[in-house]
A and B are shown apart, each in its own frame.
Chain A
Amino acid sequence: MMALSDKQDDKRDIGGPRQPLLQVRNLLKHFPLKGQGLPFSGNKSAVRAVDGINFDILKGETLGVVGESGCGKSTTARVLMQLIHQDSGELVFDGETVGSRALPLRQFRRQTQMVFQDSYSSLNPRMTIEDSIAFAPIVHGLSSRTAITRARDLLARVGLQPERFAGRYPHELSGGQRQRVNIARALALEPRLVILDEAVSALDKSVEAQVLNLLLDLKQEFGLTYLFISHDLNVVRFISDRVLVMYLGQVVEIGSADQVFDQPKHPYTRALLQSMPSMDPLQRTEVAPLAGDPPNPINPPSGCRFHTRCAYVQAPCSQQAPVFASAASGHGVACLRYEANSGVSQDAAALLETNHG
């Protein structure tokens, strides 16, 4: 069996450490609505779940993704995993286009694995957990004996003693234990990128902390790269090196965790951070930072999509869509207030910064 932890000189690493592990370019995924619009008119409306997004996942980092429900976080994850295919746009994995001859889907999926939120429905109830973990390696050509040995090693690694747990079925385990099994299964193919879609959200706080510690350990041991999707901003800040903020199918801000949490540039990021309940009963939140729910992604607002809820909205915002621009520090934002000659005054922006600093 190949040594599980020896990833220092990974033969699969083609582009070297400076090459992003995954580059996402103009990714677009719309879900057409049934029964809307005239047939064959070519003018059907669609849920614009992911609407042209660009970002990189660097080697060895944890990229956190935050945003409200319906902003396209999970659709992005599913497209990255190629569980659903994009309408347009390109995924470049370590320098090679996913689905091209150099990197066929089967090879790509081996290197990218995913852990879902619901630990119960993502395991086959009729398979013992060791069989579940060994399943994918067998499909990819490992002998069943080697695969079972590997499954047992992984169980031990995620903190479940194989003697006690290997033969159990999913319903015999607690939620935290099941999520450990899902993590072990994701690691069974020795992936380089693990997508964690709300993987700890359904767990109780004390169990969540155990699983987060486990994820940190595994990342170091196996040299993994994580894409960590969550709505819990505390957890995202803790685990992420960089954070990406999404709003209605678009990336509005990206930067290091400290940049995004301590000096948020986009008004949406700022409102999202302020929406976290205060832990001090003497300093309660008095006014909700954002009114209303996110607009419908079927008919997103014109111009900047956030202008309907933005506290700093000015006249051009409803007509002109902001262009995502990245500063030298790697802190990027899509907001007209940071664009020169956009007609949106900087005063409000200055106010924003002084208030926060």
Chain B
Amino acid sequence: MTMIPERSFAAPMVDSANAPFWQAASEGVLLIKRCNACGEAHWYPRPFCPHCGSENTEWVTASGSGTVYSFTVTRKAGPVPYVLAYVTLDEGVTMLTNLVDAEIEALHIGQRVNVVFRQAEGGGAVPVFTPVAP
């Protein structure tokens, strides 16, 4: 069995619209946006709801639990292999992410995962996911 190698993450690109997300991430909290008009969550976070157009959105704390929708072990595009994945959060939105701290051969679609945070170079933290222990 081969563990996914650890890789470094660049500092988050913080702007006026996403600053609350990255602040929370640095504190180990995963935020998503929910619309108060239609009730739907969306990803990636925007200052308006892409489903209904309302600007009445708020940041809410995600449970951090989700399910692997798809993944790929990328072996030739970086210094070390890494696992790009889509994870569907229990709140219903699917986000692009990495899977970490897992055996490559055991990865599978439908796997339950939890959010963990990796320190970024130059400060901040990046949410990634790791399989729930069976």
Binding partners A and B: no
Mark B residues whose CB is within 8 Å of A: none
Mark A residues whose CB is within 8 Å of B: none
